[in-house]
Amino acid sequence: MEFNLADLFECVAAQVPEREAVVWGTTRLTFRQFDDRATQLAHGLRSMGVGPGRHVGILTYSRPEYLETMVAAFKIRAVPINVNYRYVADELAYLFDNADLEVLVLESSFAPVVAGILERLPRLAHLIVVDDGSEGASALPEAVAYEEVIAAESSMADFPARSGDDVYIAYTGGTTGMPKGVVWRQEDIFFA
């Protein structure tokens, strides 16, 4: 048996669908709700051309949308890329370019700094903004709202088979220079 993180999550969601999976502030999501939202986001990413091996950046604080984006990427065999929210413009530009990001999910408060570096990032084709209550999203008028992506898509899990060889890339905050992407096989993450 191979261990793929999306398969494992879907298995848990199928076994305990009504158990709470996420509690964050006033937000409470059961495993079924979380899985449905991640599936809907996965379909949205796929409609943007994201597929196996493609890179999706996540620039948010610790919140449900961060986890949903990771699981959504895993569902379509894409590669989620963590982004340190403390990075300034030059560090973000470096990481986005180095990681070959094609899609970035970000909180609206980070939109102004991202808007300032977009011209340096020709591969970054899609921006999905999570509403955090700030007015920052106006800096990225071409971005789509996270909840609109979710609402427009199906929660039907109709994804192709996955592999334990699918990867996750963790960017380290290097003490010896710029951040570096560390590639982990999903099966290795499971056993580590």
The pLDDT value recorded for residue 174 is 64
Summarize pLDDT for 31-47 with one digit per residue, the tens. Answer: 999 999 999 999 999 99
CA angle 22, 109, 85 (to 5 degrees): 70
- Segment 167-189, tens digit of pLDDT: 989 998 767 778 889 998 888 77
Q: Where does residue 139 rank: exposed (0-12), middle (13-18), buried (19+ CB within 10 A)?
A: middle
* Average pLDDT along the chain: 94
Rounded Cα distance between 33 and 52, Å, is: 24
Q: Which residues contact 108 (CB under 8 A, 6 or more apart)?
A: 129, 130, 131, 132, 133, 134, 135, 136, 137
Q: What is the pLDDT of residue 186?
A: 83
Q: Is the dihedral of CA 12, 13, 19, 22 positive or negative?
A: positive
- Which residues in the chain belong to E strands, given as ranges? 20-24, 27-30, 55-59, 79-82, 101-107, 126-130, 144-145, 167-172, 180-185
Strand bridging mode 180-185 / 167-172:
antiparallel
pLDDT digits (tens, 9 = 90+) for 92-151: 999 999 999 999 999 999 999 999 999 999 999 999 999 999 999 999 999 999 999 999
- CA 163 to CA 172: how far, in whole Å? 25
- Answer for the pair 83, 129: CB distance below 8 angstroms, yes or no: no
**190 pLDDT tier (thresholds 50, 70, 90):** confident
Token pair of 134 as six digits: 């700030």
